Amino acid sequence: MKILVTGGTGLVGSAIHNLSILYSNYEFIFSGSKDCNLINYDETLQYFIKYKPDYVIHLAGNVGGLFKNMNHKVEMFEDNILINLNVIKAAYHIQVKKLISCLSTCIFPDKIVYPINEEILHNGPPHTSNDAYAYAKRMLEIQTNAYNHQYGTNFITIIPTNVYGPHDNFNILDGHIIPALIHKCHIAKNTNTVFNIAGTGKPLRQFIYSEDLAKLIMWCLELYNEKTPIILSNDEKDEISIGEVANIIANEFDYRDNLKFDETKSDGQFKKTANNSKLRLLNPNFEFIDIKDGLKKTIEWFKLNYDLCRK
């Protein structure tokens, strides 16, 4: 049985790749942007026809942190609309047995009663800082439901919280918050300058380590067959502020005394607390790695792979 992983060379795809040795009953195909331009439908379809996967784990997309979402709204909307449209159409064309597509908690409504759950996805507009990306991802969920309803497909969507880990994009301007902070702290220590954090540090987030998400995706592939989305997140009690994350990173670099917050910069959405009760009901014994341990592993990988990692 073949599994095609789009975005297979990225953060989560790499984590699945590392776990694939545990799943010897599958043949994995890890596809990156150099292998197939998913924005082009003809190229996407021919790629799917060539490999004929039985299952597809769709992770590919144009993604980035707060400021990329704010400053490149057109690309974040159009690229992701096209990528998702083409992958679903191609998966249906070759009649894959199951397709798992990855959403994000940033697509939930901004003005909402917390914690968020799977049923309130479309109950209001997302935060303006990432609305273009968020609406593109919402359309992925809409398209998935349409195919299931009209054609009886087994297409599902998963909603992870903020993912971090090895093989991330550590670009300071376009990366997500944890890899950007890791790279910032690395530079600050090496140049003996301020480790500057954009914003107040007060916003709250739930972070999931990439290997944990990879394990849960494989669990979804084999055991989750509901047609409604499922939030893949650690527990609400594990929510942590950006400031706390920055301090953990500074401690790992032994650079605690030169950290400052630039309160003139946007904080983005203050919180997006996710309720993982559906996951806990179906997979009650799953154990998440602690944020401190996950950050330690990520920083160690970053240091060892600094010359080669995306940045």
pLDDT in tens, 57-74: 999 988 777 667 778 899
Q: State the angle between helix axes of 11-19 and 210-223 in degrees (0 to 180), rounded to the nearest 10.
A: 70
Q: What is the per-residue pLDDT across 250-281, written as a single tens digit (0 to 9) for each?
A: 999 999 888 888 888 877 778 888 999 999 99
Report yes or no: 244 and 177 within 8 Å, Cβ to Cβ.
Answer: no
Look at 30 and 236; give whichever has higher pLDDT. 30
Q: Which amino acid is at 109?
A: P
28 torsion bin: left (phi>0), alpha (psi -120 to 50), beta (else): beta
Q: 10 Å Cβ neighbour count for 22?
A: 9
pLDDT band at 311; cut points 50, 70, 90: confident
Look at 297 and 235; give whichever has higher pLDDT. 297
Q: What percent of the chain has pLDDT over 90?
A: 74
Q: Could you confirm whether 135 is annotated as catalytic?
A: no
Tell whether the torsion through CA atoms of 79, 157, 237 and 286 is positive or negative: negative
> Could you say which of 41, 51, 55, 133 is catalytic?
133
The C-alpha atoms of residue 73 and residue 129 are separated, in whole angstroms, by 9
Spell out the domains of the chain, with CATH numbers in brackets.
Answer: 2-163+207-234+274-288 (3.40.50.720)
Burial of residue 60 (CB within 10 Å: 0-12, 13-18, 19+) is: buried
pLDDT band at 160; cut points 50, 70, 90: very high
Please report, in angstroms and rounded to a whole number, the separation of the first and last CA atoms in the chain. Answer: 35
Residue 76 has pLDDT above 80, yes or no: yes
Contacts of 133 (CB under 8 A, 6+ apart): 62, 63, 69, 73, 76, 77, 80, 104, 106, 107
Report yes or no: 87 and 56 within 8 Å, Cβ to Cβ.
Answer: yes
Q: What is the per-residue pLDDT across 196-231, written as a single tens digit (0 to 9) for each?
A: 888 898 999 999 999 999 999 999 999 998 999 999
Contacts of 290 (CB under 8 A, 6+ apart): none
The C-alpha atoms of residue 37 and residue 191 are separated, in whole angstroms, by 39
Q: Which amino acid is at 308?
A: L
